[in-house]
Structure 1
Amino acid sequence: MAENQICDTLQIHAGSILGHCYEVVDLLGEGSFGLVTKCCNTETNEMVAIKVSKNNSEIMHQAREEITILKQLQCLDPDQCHIVRWNDFFFNKHLICLNFELLDQNLRIFQQERNIETLSIGEISPILYQMATALLHLSNIGIVHMDIKTENIMVVDCNQEPLTFKLIDFGLAKVVSSLKPSDYGQTTWYRAPEVMLGIPFNEAIDMWSLGIVAVNLATGHHLYPGETDYDALSYIIETQGTPSDSMLERGLRSHYYFKKQNDSSSGWQFKTPDEMGSPPAESRALNLKSLEEIEVVQKCDKEGLFVNLVTMMLQLDHELRIKPAEFLLHSFFNPSLTLHSVDKENPSSSPTNSSQTEQIQVEDQKETAIQEQAKDGWLKRLFRRIQGAFKRN
């Protein structure tokens, strides 16, 4: 941010002092909630990220809710659990400021700045593994993130730790036990079908969103980029089929998008654009008739492990969706294994998880294998770029 650039709403600019010792160095991001600044602690010279909430009653309430969640997360090791470290909060006059560790770049910016459309399997593996690790620990303490997307997955340090990632932004996070079917969350493109339909939901919505992230990283395109829930549902149905009658029967909003046939044998039917009173919309760059058509990945995906994993993450029925503990045991994360423990004909099946303790004991061994696989992917990409440079010259 240029030194004279100012946030019109909050009147915060480079050189501003937040609290008693945090000097604003740069503006990292701005949204409806307020802004995130890069600050230097003038007493310790430590660089941190300060999230400043706008002086708005609704946003201030949300900030207080976020603090409540962040306090619950303090029982977790942020490095081992791959979640952002929260230091504390303070008031700058009437504004609530949240103090976090400073991370490098989110995945969207990381791809944009390097002009990378897709990542290799080796590069995707550590991202998914570490985010599933975060989801496992969040689930263990009964927290649902509610906003998993590429913008909320950060590279810790692109130079020193390019294979280490952390989950950020708990502004929409909730306690699972407090969730109600009428609750609404997630960015539309990453929103799980049970949320759209008003079906009682739980932390499985985070796994759905992570599945969408996985496809995005592997193909360079959003899978279901609907501007509305109706558009997104139409894309989901075209690729994965219609949700089951049992799902639709439980949805508070099912009648808004579907009509129930008088003939009980015909079940539910998705409404047409005319019936919805909206023109047909098509915003997909990636139009798949099934998840198996992710050919970009299959070309280098031995035995279809990635596609199998994504299919389990994107189960329409959240009760059949793979859970984090099962996810971390999937053969995709161990190149020496095959799909002998995964039923290819029934993607909803999952490896048997004997105990959570056993899963945690093997995490370090698997993560080492993943990092080696990822390094190989980075080296291959670098070699291809060097070759391209010589050819152009």
Structure 2
Amino acid sequence: MSIFNQLYDAKKQYEEVAEIGTGAYGTVYKARDLETGRYVALKKVRVQTGEDGMPLSTIREIAMLKQLEKFEHPNVVRLLDVYHGGRTDLETRLTLVFEHIDQDLSTYLEKCPSPGLGPEKIRDLSRQLVCGVDFLHSHRILHRDLKPQNILITGRGEVKLADFGLARVYGFQMALTSVVVTLWYRAPEVLLQGRYATPVDMWSVGCIIAELFTRLPLFRGTSDIDQLHKIFDIIGLPAKAEWPDSVSVPWNAFRPSPPRSLKKIIPELCEDSADLLQNLLTFDPSQRSSAQDTLSHGYFKTEDGQSVI
């Protein structure tokens, strides 16, 4: 059986209510499911078409995302349906139907009144974020674009990751619109155009957890190089021996700088949260804490040593 439904069926089942926004790969609409009355998010995207139609790799990626549904993990957004909307020689139109959640983490933090989130709320949101990433990584899925705009918060305070795995679905094509791509959560190995794997998501997790404390991004670069300067200004320039081979920028393009204390930069950090961030914001991906290791960190333990999972 095909993993795709026909777009005609989508038009019969879903009534578009409002445009939510235009992202890097397409437009998202809020829509009503005419059968159940519940709201959904329709993400309309275009996938590059080859000589033989949609690439097999794309079909496999979508099938994998649909397979995740059976787990119903509380910290990932549910992909409810995928509709095929016809194709041309250049592209295939798809409509992906997700559960709809009104608020992302960026909006949530903007609305948060002073003095900000309390320590237990930050711990809870952080734990849910890492749980979602751990679930994806355990199924060999990289998110690749973790940022507050891709982390949704329900009215009950549940964290749900959105847009995971979609870079593979889109075949790494360039953005269809002139959307500004945020560099602030990108790992050094991505900025250096080196090889990367699951640790890229853990760098982003570290950036996001830091932002929960301050409600401001930790590294706010204006270009790839400026972003690296901002990163090394805090974590320090790594030793030349740690610099990866065959990357786009040489080590000596950056001024030597020692690492700075995260607790001085973010006074709200406790010893455990500072250590957690230190483990995540590590230049060498092989030394960066994994999602599973992060969940076992003392920051997520209760006073009697039990994990808060």
Fold conserved (TM > 0.5)?
yes
8 Å CA contact 1:149–1:209 kept in 2: the answer is yes
Does residue 240 (structure 1) correspond to residue 235 (structure 2)? The answer is yes
Equivalent in 255, 260, 264 of residue 293 of structure 1: 264
Aligned to 2:37: 45
* Counterpart residue identity of residue 96, structure 2: L
Deviations 1:183-203 (A, max 9, x none): xxx841111011122332210
Equivalent in 288, 298, 303 of residue 331 of structure 1: 298
* Counterpart residue identity of residue 169, structure 1: D
Instruction: List gaps (5 residues or longer) in structure 1.
Output: 1-16, 180-185, 260-268, 273-287, 339-361, 368-393
CA shift for structure 1 position 291: 1.8
Matches within 5 A, 1:198-277: 198-255=193-250, 258-259=251-252, 270=254
CA shift for structure 1 position 245: 1.9
Matches within 5 A, 1:54-73: 68-73=60-65
Aligned to 2:308: 366
Deviations 1:191-233 (A, max 9, x none): 1011122332210000000100111111122111101111111
Alignment partners' CA distance in 1, 2:43 and 2:55: 10
* Counterpart residue identity of residue 31, structure 1: G
Change (3 A) 1:20 1:318: same
Corresponding pairs, count: 282
CA shift for structure 1 position 165: 0.9
CA shift for structure 1 position 251: 4.0
Matches within 5 A, 1:159-178: 161-162=156-157, 164-170=158-164, 172-174=166-168
Does residue 145 (structure 1) correspond to residue 129 (structure 2)? The answer is no
Instruction: List gaps (5 residues or longer) in structure 2.
Output: 1-8, 88-92, 173-180
Alignment partners' CA distance in 1, 2:300 and 2:217: 23
3-state DSSP class of the match of 1:142? coil
Deviations 1:17-48 (A, max 9, x none): 95222111122222242211111122332321
Change (3 A) 1:56 1:199: closer
RMSD: 3.2
3-state DSSP class of the match of 1:250? coil
Deviations 1:121-149 (A, max 9, x none): 21111222122112222222211110011
Aligned to 1:83: 76
Alignment partners' CA distance in 1, 2:147 and 2:241: 28
State which structure, 1 or 2, has the greater radius of gyration over its C-alpha atoms: 1
8 Å CA contact 2:65–2:165 kept in 1: the answer is no
* Counterpart residue identity of residue 254, structure 2: F
* Counterpart residue identity of residue 165, structure 1: V
3-state DSSP class of the match of 1:218? helix
Aligned to 2:280: 313
Matches within 5 A, 1:74-113: 74-76=66-68, 77=70, 79-80=72-73, 82-92=75-85, 95-113=93-111
3-state DSSP class of the match of 1:201? coil
Alignment partners' CA distance in 1, 2:112 and 2:22: 22
Alignment partners' CA distance in 1, 2:99 and 2:55: 17
3-state DSSP class of the match of 1:296? coil
Alignment partners' CA distance in 2, 1:86 and 1:40: 15
3-state DSSP class of the match of 1:190? coil
8 Å CA contact 1:210–1:313 kept in 2: the answer is yes
Alignment partners' CA distance in 1, 2:59 and 2:129: 21
Relative contact order higher in (CA < 8 Å, ≥ 6 apart)? 2
CA shift for structure 1 position 320: 0.6
Q: TM-score w.r.t. structure 1 length? A: 0.64
Aligned to 1:388: none
CA shift for structure 1 position 247: 3.1
Alignment partners' CA distance in 1, 2:203 and 2:264: 18
8 Å CA contact 1:63–1:171 kept in 2: the answer is no
Change (3 A) 1:187 1:314: same
